[in-house]
Each structure stands twice: as structure tokens, then as C-alpha cells.
Structure 1
Amino acid sequence: MTASEIVNLAIGFLALVIGILMFWSLPVPKFTSRNAASLPFLSIIIPARNEEGRISPLLQSLQEQRFKQFEILVVDDDSTDNTAAVAESYGATVLQNNGAGKSSACWLGAEHAKGSWLLFLDADTRFTSVDGISNLLHFYQEKGARGIVALQPFHTVKQWYEHLSVVFNIIVVVGMNLFTIWESRFKTAGSFGPCILCDRDDYYLTGGHKGIEGAIMDDLALGEAFLDKNLPVRCLGGKGIISLRMYPEGMESLIEGWCKSFAVGSKSTHPVVMLMVILWISGSLTIAGALISSIIEWDAAAMVWSGVLYILYTIQTALFARRVGDFRWAVFPFYPVLFLFFAGIYLYSFIRVNVFHSVKWKGRKIKV
């Protein structure tokens, strides 16, 4: 092997180790109490824009919950489809928002809420257990019922193109700064967005979604608002409690969705965590390149070592991905494609945000 080949292999091995430190664990809520009578009335607020084809599983899962002490407020954010009619068919109260965006819709829902606690849910989520809400509320109660508990739903995958979200899902979680081997040493980047539980009084103390209106990454901004008031923000995985399916409409929706958030959201990631992410991604591509080069040059020793590291990268990426979604094992031997897609969309997002100062989402052009 040449000196450059040895260096590349060393970089790849180091990146594998960094990956372990970067994504050490993803805990899920645990609790001991099961006394539902001790839980307060809950208001579930669902901002929805053109969610006719996606909101039914969530509303169905809410009907199936054993815990029943809640109301459902669906805030129709200027939809052009039958979102409101679908929500009403499940018995939800529908409020009309005049097209001012998700933060405005959440604030409108909070203003009409009757519950002591508020649960904000994205319309494409669904509870995967009949005790999902109860378990989440008990966990929040045992943590003192202050601040935010936010879950990142477990990603459900149905179409092959959806596997292109693998690296994005991993980085979204890692980028919160809480899941390294050092756990809470780094300040959280904010809050996960699809499932946010908070106390009503805390919400109004921080200004809620009204105070962050206009923010592209409303979840991160809301978390920051709570942290500014010295209120805790706890971010956990949602496996076994809540799931979502991302961008079932197709590739265009997937690209728009990740472009909308990624370059902006990455600014909240701690520099140390960001450096680990960059090294991990770079190492993955370095090893893939080393393996291809060794085959072209027919260097047996280089092929063996780069092949071993390639397999280890395949396994590591699969294990990380299976923490955040039910991605199929068969895609991971082709992991360089997943990393290259991530790099391409990240670059595209960076250009849209920093050069054109706008992104597109659900037919709206959003200035940034």
C-alpha cells in the first residue's frame, strides 16, 4: 500500500470512531407512574396545510388512545384541499388560520385551548401505541411538568426513494447536540418540531409561537425561547410512541422539505458536534473512494483493509439509521449514494438560503 492509501484508511477508521462518539445513544421516555387520574386535561393542537391525504392516521390514532382527557384542535392554515372536512369527520374542532404560517396556526390553537398542557403535533405524525399519549404525559409529569418535552417521531418508510432521507434523519437528531457520548454537556440546539409537549403557563411566559413568528425553524426557535426563560427542553426519540412518514408525495417534496430547513437548522448545532458530523461524512466517502481505487489498482492489501472499513461503515450507518426509522437493511451497502445525496441537498439548501434568500414549501415562497 502507498502512503496516501494508508492515510485514507486511517482517516476512515478515525471517522468510524468519531461516529460512535457523535451518536452514542437516543433515549426514549421512561416513567414509573400509571395513575391517569393525576394527569390534567390536554389540548392537542395540529397545524395543517393541505394535509387531506396525511392527517387521517393521526386522528385515527388519537381516537384509539386509552387516555381520553383531551381535546383536538386542528388549525387549518389556508388549505386548498379538504383538510378541514377530514378533521371534522373525526370529531376535531377546526379553526381557520388565514395563511400566516405554522407559527401563527399554533398560536391560534393555543389561544383557543382549554387544557393545562399543550401538545403540538405535525399532521403527518401518528401514535403507534394506544398508551402513547399517556406514557408521554406521565414522563412529562415525572420530570416536573416544566418546559418542553419534544419527541422526534420514528420515521416510517414505504417507498424506496424515501431512503434518501437516511442521513438527514441521523443528522437532525445528532444536530440537537444531546446525543453524543457527553450527553448534555453541549447546550441543546432547540426543540424537535413534530411533537412538542409543554405547560400552558410556561408557553405564555416564553411568548410561545407568537414570539417566534416568521422563524423558518420554528421548533428550534421555540426551544430557544424556553431556554431563555431558564425552562428545560428535553429532546428524546419517539420509537414505540409516535411515528411519521416524511414526504410521501414524491422526490420533489422530499427535496423541498429538506432544503427548507437544513442549512438554517445546522447553524444551531454546536461547533464540536458539527465538526464530528463533517468528519464522519468525509470519512464515509473517503473509505468508499479508497475501496474503488484499490480495486482499480488491484492492490490486494488495500482492498482487504478498505473493504473491512467499508463493511464497518455500512453496519454503523445502518445501526444509526435504525434508531430513527425503519429503513431497510438492503440499502446500506450503497451508503455512499445516501451521503452524496445529503451533501448535494445541503449544498443546494445553503445556496438557496445564503444566495437567493428564499426557499419553497407547500406552494409558498419563504424569505430567509
Structure 2
Amino acid sequence: MDVLSILLLIALVIALLGLLCGVLVFWRVPTIQHKGIPTSSVSIIIPARNEEFRLKPLLESIVHQRHVSYEVIVVDDGSTDGTRELARSYGANVISNELLEEGWIGKSAACWAGSLVANNKLLLFMDADTVFTHPDSLSNYIASFESMGSGGILSLQPEHYAEKWYEQLAFLFPLIVMAGMNVFTVAGTRLKAGGSFGPCLLCDKMQYEEIGGHAVVRGAVMDDLALGKAFQQHDLPVRCYGGKGIAWLRMYPGGLSDMVQGYSKSMASGSAATHPLVMVLIYTWMAGALIAASMLFASGFSSTSWLGVSIGLYILYAVELAVASKRVGRFIWWIFPLYPLLLVVFISIFTYSLYLSKRKGSVQWKGRNINV
């Protein structure tokens, strides 16, 4: 056996191990299954800074919700567009975020400000770019929370809708964000959740106030992760579910630069919440995927049998990603055979995020410098 064949054999073992790690790290994504009419009322709190165009679909979906009592509170965080007027046109209670004193991050301050004027038993914090999927989404969401005892946090990661080319190429970000929450692996709930998802975060108002709410995580860039940990420190459960059938979102429709800035401000700091075992599984999967792509190139210099093995391995990784994508959102099929490019995009932005957090210490986001 020549040297190239030996190297290809070693590469094959690592690549197969990577495939297995991909299965283990994304074993199961629970979704809301409970259907019913809830008994609790909810205050929907939406932080918004220049969200005139992204906010409208959410407000439109809220007014069509049925079988649930709710109020909508839009916390305007210094918008210079028509955010306030739009929110009022849909009957929302619009207040100003006036808590941007030293130590506060904009979103945390807005969430806290909204909670102070909320009148209902439950609090639902929603990002402005989320949208309810159908008229029973909110009632099913709350009914599920009540069936779990109405304690702690029930957070959802909405389905990602990708429309533009750069959104397609960013597929690995929502996938790895979900995997990094620890609870979707083969270990299930035996691993503690790394925090909670921010786009849809439901909790009991009294418990929220008892733990100190967003005031105790005022300086956290990833306020959703920090708030989840605050609940866990008070022995309150934090449940993370996939949002399929309840809500969807487009995170960065504003352009490539918007997407790069958004992921750069959060990826490096967010990775700290991932369990070491899960991190090893993710890294092994990524290494295996890169090696599988390299094998396809190297096997061209070896025997025909190795070329067939390499092609088969490459296809398996593409299929694995295609299957996983169904649990994350809606993406076009042709991006999965391009998975080496997806990996390059992910690694590049993640490396840039590390640079910002470890060296520069800040990132520009929505006209503000945010320490990361």
C-alpha cells in the first residue's frame, strides 16, 4: 500500500467519524405538538430599532392570532424611521427605551422596559423579524407551556427562511447555533441547555421578576443565553424547541454586510455556552466534512476505487446536511453539494467574530458600538 493510499484510509476513518458525530449532535429537535386553548393571558414584548419593514409581517401575524388573550408592547429603541407609527397602527402599546445608562445593552434594556409595563401573567419576548406561522401558533405555544407546568422558560428557534444567495450560504449558522444549545444531541436533556433562544422566549412574569429579569443580564451581548442561565441558577427549567409550525424568521434580509455584522457580534461569545462534549462533536463533524472534500480531490491521483469511495462520502455529507436542514428552516437543495463553501463562509465569519471579541472588543450594530 502506497503512502497516498494510507493517507486516504486515515482520512476515510476521520470522515466516517465526522458523519457519525453529525448524527449524534443533531439527533432530535422537539417541536410544539400540544394543541389547545390556553387559560393564561400573555404580554408580547417586541424590542425594535428601525424595524419598520421587518416589524410589519410580525404585527400582521399577531392580529390574526385566536383563542388567546394578549397585549402587544413595542419598545422603541431610538428608531429614526416609521417604527413607532407602524406599531401604533396595529394597536400596539408603544413605549420608549429610556434605560440606556452605563452597563446596559440596547435589547436587554428594551426587554426590561417592556416587562415593567406588561399587564399579563405571561411574558413573550419576540424579535421584530419573527412571524407566527398560522392563527393558532400563539395559542398552541402557550398551551404547551401550560402543559409543562408554566415554569421556567420555553424558547423556540423559528424556522429560517432564506431567500437571497448570501442567506443560503449562511445555512451552517442556524444549524450550529441550534446544535450549540446542547439539548438536541443523542444525550437529550441529560445535558443542560446552554441558555435560551432569543427570537421567541416565553416565561411567567412573576418568575421573571423574582430572578431579576433582563436587569441581571444587562451587560450581556447574548442576553437570551444569559437569561436562560439566570433561570437555571434559580432551579427553573429552560426548554429549547424548534419553532417549526409556530414561527419563522429571516434574520438578515438587509444585505451581506448586515449578516456578517450580526453573526460576528454573537458567534464567538455564544460558543462559550456550548458543552465541551458537544463542541468536540461539532468540530469533529466539521473536520470530517473538510477531509471528505479533500479526499475527493486527492483520490484523483490514486486508484479508481478510492475515487468511488470519495464521491460516495461526499454525497453522504451533502445528504446529511439536507436532512438536518429540514429541522432548521427552508433552504434550496443546490447549496448542500456546495458544503465546502458553506464551511469556508462559517469559519471565516466565526474567525472574524473571535477577532472582534478577543482583539478589537467591539462591533458596529444598528448604528451603535457594542462591546463583544
TM over 0.5: yes
| 1:163 paired residue number | 168
In structure 2, the residue corresponding to 1:268 is in which secondary structure? coil
In structure 2, the residue corresponding to 1:47 is in which secondary structure? strand
**Contact 1:77–1:99 (8 Å) recurs in 2:** no
Cα offset, 1:105, TM superposition: 0.4
Higher mean C-alpha deviation, range 116-125 or range 83-92:
83-92
**Contact 1:167–1:321 (8 Å) recurs in 2:** no
Cα offset, 1:53, TM superposition: 1.1
| 1:213 paired residue number | 218
**Contact 2:32–2:245 (8 Å) recurs in 1:** no
2:310 alignment partner AA: S
In structure 1, the residue corresponding to 2:53 is in which secondary structure? coil
Cα offset, 1:186, TM superposition: 1.2
Q: How does 1:34-73 map to 2 (within 5 A)?
A: 34-36=36-38, 39-73=39-73
**Contact 1:212–1:218 (8 Å) recurs in 2:** yes
| 1:83 paired residue number | 83
Count of aligned residue pairs for this structure pair:
364
| Per-residue Cα deviation, 1:130-165 (whole angstroms, up to 9, x for no partner) | 100000000000000011000000001111210122
Instruction: Tell me: CA distance 1:50–1:35, structure 2 relative to 1, closer, same or farther (3 Å).
Output: closer
| 1:21 paired residue number | 24
Between the aligned partners of 2:313 and 2:37, the Cα distance in structure 1 is 50
2:336 alignment partner AA: F
Cα offset, 1:66, TM superposition: 1.2
| Per-residue Cα deviation, 1:212-261 (whole angstroms, up to 9, x for no partner) | 10100000000001001100000000001100011001100110011010
| Per-residue Cα deviation, 1:251-281 (whole angstroms, up to 9, x for no partner) | 0011001101000000110000000000001
| 1:179 paired residue number | 184
**Does residue 362 of structure 2 align to residue 358 of structure 1?**
yes
| Alignment match of 1:196 (pick from 195, 201, 211) | 201
Between the aligned partners of 2:68 and 2:147, the Cα distance in structure 1 is 20
Q: How does 1:213-232 map to 2 (within 5 A)?
A: 213-232=218-237
1:119 alignment partner AA: L
Between the aligned partners of 1:67 and 1:127, the Cα distance in structure 2 is 14
In structure 1, the residue corresponding to 2:76 is in which secondary structure? strand
Structure 2 unaligned runs (5+)?
101-105
Cα offset, 1:10, TM superposition: 1.2
In structure 2, the residue corresponding to 1:98 is in which secondary structure? coil
Cα offset, 1:89, TM superposition: 1.1
Between the aligned partners of 2:361 and 2:166, the Cα distance in structure 1 is 28
**Does residue 283 of structure 2 align to residue 278 of structure 1?**
yes
Between the aligned partners of 1:204 and 1:220, the Cα distance in structure 2 is 17
In structure 2, the residue corresponding to 1:155 is in which secondary structure? strand
2:173 alignment partner AA: F
| Per-residue Cα deviation, 1:10-61 (whole angstroms, up to 9, x for no partner) | 11111001111111011102225x244xx12211100001101100000000
Cα offset, 1:298, TM superposition: 5.3
**Does residue 96 of structure 2 align to residue 96 of structure 1?**
yes
2:367 alignment partner AA: G
| 2:103 paired residue number | none
Between the aligned partners of 2:211 and 2:314, the Cα distance in structure 1 is 47
Q: How does 1:139-150 map to 2 (within 5 A)?
A: 139-150=144-155
Cα offset, 1:68, TM superposition: 4.3
Instruction: Tell me: CA distance 1:341–1:99, structure 2 relative to 1, closer, same or farther (3 Å).
Output: farther
1:96 alignment partner AA: S
Between the aligned partners of 2:250 and 2:150, the Cα distance in structure 1 is 29
In structure 2, the residue corresponding to 1:94 is in which secondary structure? strand
Between the aligned partners of 1:68 and 1:138, the Cα distance in structure 2 is 9
| Alignment match of 1:114 (pick from 100, 110, 119) | 119
Between the aligned partners of 1:322 and 1:362, the Cα distance in structure 2 is 31
Cα offset, 1:319, TM superposition: 1.0
TM score, norm. by length of structure 2? 0.96
Segments of 4+ moved more than 2 angstroms:
none
| 1:290 paired residue number | 295
In structure 2, the residue corresponding to 1:302 is in which secondary structure? helix
Cα offset, 1:299, TM superposition: 3.1
Cα offset, 1:99, TM superposition: 7.1
Cα offset, 1:77, TM superposition: 0.6
Between the aligned partners of 1:288 and 1:98, the Cα distance in structure 2 is 52
| Per-residue Cα deviation, 1:49-83 (whole angstroms, up to 9, x for no partner) | 11011000000000111134100000001112111
Between the aligned partners of 2:43 and 2:228, the Cα distance in structure 1 is 19
Between the aligned partners of 1:287 and 1:125, the Cα distance in structure 2 is 36
Cα offset, 1:358, TM superposition: 1.1
In structure 2, the residue corresponding to 1:74 is in which secondary structure? strand
TM score, norm. by length of structure 1? 0.97
**Contact 1:294–1:303 (8 Å) recurs in 2:** yes
| Per-residue Cα deviation, 1:266-301 (whole angstroms, up to 9, x for no partner) | 011000000000000111111001101222x15312
Instruction: Tell me: CA distance 1:275–1:184, structure 2 relative to 1, closer, same or farther (3 Å).
Output: same
Percentage of pairs with the same residue = 46
| 1:329 paired residue number | 333
Instruction: Tell me: CA distance 1:99–1:290, structure 2 relative to 1, closer, same or farther (3 Å).
Output: farther
Instruction: Tell me: CA distance 1:192–1:180, structure 2 relative to 1, closer, same or farther (3 Å).
Output: same
Between the aligned partners of 2:37 and 2:135, the Cα distance in structure 1 is 16
Between the aligned partners of 1:354 and 1:284, the Cα distance in structure 2 is 27
2:325 alignment partner AA: A
Between the aligned partners of 1:298 and 1:234, the Cα distance in structure 2 is 50
> C-alpha root-mean-square deviation of aligned residues, in Å?
1.1
